[in-house]
Structure 1
Amino acid sequence: MILAAAEAEFTEAGVRKANVDTVAARAGVSRSTLYRRFANKEELLIAVAQRVYERVMRELDTAVAGLSPQDAVVEAFVAGATLIEQDNLVRRLLVDGDVKMLTAQAPAMFIELAVQRVASTLRRAGAQMPDADLHDVVEIHVRLVMSFMEVPPSDAGRWAPDRVRATVGKFIAPMVW
């Protein structure tokens, strides 16, 4: 209940403006109960980030199930770009300056966990490249998505799913074999 309440508060108020007292009230617990579980706002944010990460990874796993490694890369990009564009909390956790000021752990944690999970998914999809190479390629992919979120393209149409599919299929998916 606390994490759901915190997720709602971080989404609606933003990380900097989120209020721990509001989180406790939303969760139906006292402030002291909240602080027994989470020493501070940063710990609460990290726990929420982990929860959001798991949700995002499940959504990406579903989007690429049964696809070849190259097709999985394409659909993961489309799903990832859509999630980041449509989910305010995901976007805040990955690229919001407020989060970076509060903790550098959330984006770094997400990158490494995402790289491990996506590499594992691509391996299950049939990727044959050496583990170290697969890890490096996936990290490039994850960082590309984040880079586009931090500095959006001058042409917003580049985020249209068909254009993402075409671009990723042509330039990025061939990096995985």
Structure 2
Amino acid sequence: MSGRKARSTATAEDQETAILNAAASEFAAVGARRANMDEVAAAAGVSRSTLYRRFPNKEKLLLAVAVDAYEKGMLRLEASVAGLGPREAVVEAFATGADMVGTDPLLSRMVLEDYEVRGVTASINTLFIEMVTDRVAATLREAGATMPDDLLHQAVELHVRLVISYLENPATDPERATPDAARDLAQTFLAPMIY
């Protein structure tokens, strides 16, 4: 019997999904610095060469995992506000986002614990803010927001920047770090900005 590894018959898309899932688990478990590319390849069922062909280094892989997490998070937020009016959507999105960061091991590690991740994602921070702002503004417009586009965009950008600030510097009082507290805060201060 040959010592060669059997060639994977998975499609490139399936391999990439497996790599991103394995990397997300690895980053959530041990953080960016201690994450091991060989462990990711093994968990994904791909060779090292396949992994490095798709993601030449850990930073590129971490960035891809962050983008994937962003997309999944946005889809969850959009689903959470379906059928709500604009102000209710702001409140529910804020509370859902707080819950996601508090309960998803990868998001928690990326947002609250792992300063290595911030170093990698800082390079796309402005682009991230613009992408999230555009997407949330479009979602609120679909929910019925009637304010002028420029005002809606400014209000949403302020919301996004506030969320980032809260995530980077969470409340020290555990009672203020719950989804219910996030919902109350959004209801009191953020929702009135949207009409």
- Give the TM-score taking structure 1 as reference length: 0.91
Residues 1:88 and 1:146: Cα distance change in structure 2 (over 3 Å): farther
Which range moved further: 66-75 or 25-34?
A: 25-34
CA contact (8 A) 2:98 2:178 kept: no
Residues 1:62 and 1:173: Cα distance change in structure 2 (over 3 Å): same
1:65 and 2:90 matched: no
Query: In 2, distance between residues paired with 1:176 and 1:11?
Result: 35
1:136 is aligned to 154
Query: In 2, distance between residues paired with 1:40 and 1:84?
Result: 26
Q: Report deviation, 1:35.
A: 0.8
Give 5+ residue unaligned stretches, structure 1. none
Query: In 1, distance between residues paired with 2:110 and 2:123?
Result: 10
Query: In 1, distance between residues paired with 2:46 and 2:180?
Result: 46
CA contact (8 A) 1:77 1:164 kept: yes
Give 5+ residue unaligned stretches, structure 2. 1-17
Which range moved further: 107-116 or 144-153?
A: 107-116
Residues 1:16 and 1:43: Cα distance change in structure 2 (over 3 Å): same
1:78 and 2:95 matched: yes
Bigger Rg over Cα: 2
Q: How many residues align?
A: 177
Query: In 1, distance between residues paired with 2:64 and 2:180?
Result: 34
CA contact (8 A) 2:77 2:93 kept: yes
1:56 and 2:73 matched: yes
Residues 1:12 and 1:108: Cα distance change in structure 2 (over 3 Å): farther
Residues 1:103 and 1:61: Cα distance change in structure 2 (over 3 Å): closer
Q: Aligned to 1:154, what secondary structure does the other structure show?
A: coil
Q: Report deviation, 1:126.
A: 0.7
Q: Equivalent pairs: percent with the same residue?
A: 53
Q: Aligned to 2:170, what secondary structure does the other structure show?
A: coil
What is the root-mean-square deviation of aligned Cα atoms in Å?
A: 1.7
Q: Report deviation, 1:88.
A: 2.8
1:125 is aligned to 143
2:179 is aligned to 161
